[in-house]
Amino acid sequence: MKKTGYFILLFSICFTTMAQVNPKPEVTRTIFAYGGGFTKPFIRYIIALTKKDNPKICFLPTASADNANIILAWYKACEDLQMRPYVQMTFVASYTEPKTFEENLLSMDAIVVAGGNTLNMMAIWKAQGIDTVLRKAYNKGIVLAGGSAGSLCWFQGGTTDSRPKDLSIVKGLGFIQTSHCPHYHSEPLRKPLYFDNILKGKLNAGYAIDDLAGVVFENEKYIKSVAVDDKSNTYYVSVINGQIDEKLLPVEEILK
């Protein structure tokens, strides 16, 4: 064997061995869905989920139509926290936005979606390509979070007040392949309608969440439930022997 061929073979063996010893770490895909609006304890928890010091966390207020009061409340809630808060509005113009949605969102450590009109939000995301960007963010390991519309969007679907008169079913992004019900006990119509839709097969089994509680998923698997107080809970709702089964999930209380 010529020396050149020998060194190429030796390099190949060494490179393969090093790759086996130091494999590329697997990305953990994380979703934190809570039942109601964002709170300081939830933001602290999202910071912890990023596993980074002073993470960049972006607020996506599409469902609120980029409402200025909601954006102000976001910045107010982030005060004194070890993070760098950002906002990505969708009611924008190219004259004032030097970067694309993808460039901005994929540079973050976490993305928090606001509550509001889920149906309108999903339509805008699809039109702007943000649904595709969020899938890239998820696969990259950027923590995805939100409550109300901001939690419903990560699931297959659930009930929404996005249309006039009655609660109706809306489809989400389907990152988590179950249904979801936010505001489980704070809005009286939510629970019976969720039961009825699951019984009739209009929705798959799924997770129901009180406003001050949340569920954590890693790589599409349920990991744990957390809550701000001892009165808030999460549930797994399914059908067993033709009857609704509401399973209360263990909850870990997080600091206020």
**Would residue 126 count as lying in a domain?**
yes
pLDDT at site 144: 98
Residue 15: its pLDDT value, please? 47
Q: Does residue 172 sit within a domain?
A: yes
In a domain, residue 159? The reply is yes
102-126 per-residue burial string, b: 16 or more CB within 10 A, e: under 16: eebbeebbbbbbbbbbbbebbebbe
The label of the residue with tokens 């390099």 reads 11
Amino acid letter, residue 206 = G
Within-domain flag for 61: yes
Q: Establish if 57 belongs to a structural domain.
A: yes
> pLDDT value at position 9?
47
Q: Report if residue 2 sits inside a domain.
A: no
Domain span at residue 87 reads 28-253
Catalytic residue (choose from 151, 183, 225, 232): 183
Q: What is the pLDDT of residue 5?
A: 52
- Point out the catalytic residue in the list 64, 148, 162, 179: 148
Catalytic site includes residue 12: no
Supply the CATH number for residue 101's domain.
3.40.50.880
Q: What is the tally of structural domains in the chain? A: 1
Contact 210, 234 (CB under 8 A): yes
Query: How many Å apart are CA 159 and CA 138, to the nearest integer?
Result: 23
pTM score, two decimals?
0.88
Q: How many helices (H) and strands (E) does the chain have?
A: 8, 14
pLDDT at 98: 81
SS3 at position 168: strand
Euclidean distance between CA atoms 175 and 222, whole angstroms = 12
Q: How far is CA 138 from each of CA 10, 17, 115, 172, 213, rounded to the nearest angstrom?
A: 38, 30, 19, 14, 22
Give me the residues paired with residue 52 across strands: none
| Helices 118-128, 130-140: crossing angle, 10 deg rounding | 90
Domain for residue 5, yes or no? no
Q: Could you tell me if residue 22 is inside a domain?
A: no
Residue 185 annotated among the catalytic residues of the structure: no
Residues constituting the chain: 256
pLDDT in tens, the chain (256 residues): 555 555 444 445 554 544 455 566 689 999 999 998 889 999 999 999 999 999 999 999 999 999 999 999 999 999 999 999 999 999 987 778 888 999 999 999 999 999 999 999 999 999 999 999 999 999 999 999 999 999 999 999 988 777 777 677 889 999 999 999 999 998 888 899 999 999 999 999 999 999 999 999 999 999 999 999 999 999 999 999 999 999 999 999 986 6
**Residue 19 pLDDT:** 47
Torsion of CA 234, 238, 242, 245, to 10 degrees: -20
For residue 30, give Cα distances in angstroms to 74, 116, 177.
Answer: 21, 22, 14
pLDDT given at position 256: 65
